[in-house]
Structure 1
Amino acid sequence: MPKNSFINLPFGSPKREGSIESQIFHLTNRVVRLTYHSRKHNKDYSSQRGLWKVLGKRKRLLVYLFRTNPISCKNLTNQLGIRVSKKN
């Protein structure tokens, strides 16, 4: 998998480095990498566990962002192509 195939959005600016949006963006990049890895190595259970942990953290951050700023959450999920859980 080439490194250029990761998602590139303008959340990497230095003053927005720790924002919820940039954290979700970086976790989504990790999910893409781990998903690709687990498709190639389907019996690597420790990587699967890591993927589940990253997905759980991203889900918690998305729920928090949805509660605090639903418009920003909707824009972010549209840009990243991910879904928000209906359970809040």
Structure 2
Amino acid sequence: MYLTKEIKEEIFKKHGNGTTDTGSAEGQVALFTHRINHLTNHLKQNRKDFNTERSLVKIVGKRRSLLDYLKKKDINRYRAIIKELGIRK
């Protein structure tokens, strides 16, 4: 499995407020970004996997809505997570 418990803890420790803070917007955006990168690589090899393509579109939408929320709530946190993850709009 590509997303083990240790990888999740590392993502939340690096981008969230700790390993147990799974609810922060930054941690969730980082986790969605990790999943998006994995699914993108999968779709490069399996072009006709339409279920994965649909899942990718849903995850991108969730990440976009979280980023919009973060932008509205605190622009500095939004800019920091965008710069740190290398996400462009």
Q: Same fold (TM over 0.5)?
A: yes
Give per-residue Cα distances to partners, 1:13-41, cap 9 Å, x unaligned: 23432101000000000000000000000
The percent of aligned pairs where both chains have the same amino acid is: 32
Structure number with the higher helix fraction is: 2
1:21-40 residue pairs with structure 2 within 5 A? 21-40=26-45
Aligned to 1:18, which of 18, 23, 31?
Answer: 23
User: How many residues get paired?
Assistant: 81
User: What TM-score comes out, normalization by structure 2 length?
Assistant: 0.80
User: Is 1:41 equivalent to 2:46 in the alignment?
Assistant: yes
* Structure 1 moving runs of 4+ over 3 Å: none
**Mapped partners of 1:78, 1:36: distance in 2:** 22
Q: Distance in 2 between matches of 1:15 and 1:71?
A: 23
Q: 1:56 aligns with which of 52, 61, 73?
A: 61
Unaligned runs of 5+ in 1: none
Uncovered stretches (5+) of structure 2, i.e. residues with no partner: none
Q: CA RMSD in A?
A: 2.3
- Structure 1 residue 11, shift from structure 2 partner: 2.4
Residues 1:75 and 2:83 are matched in the alignment: no
Find the aligned partners of 2:56 and 2:24 in 1 and give their Cα distance: 22
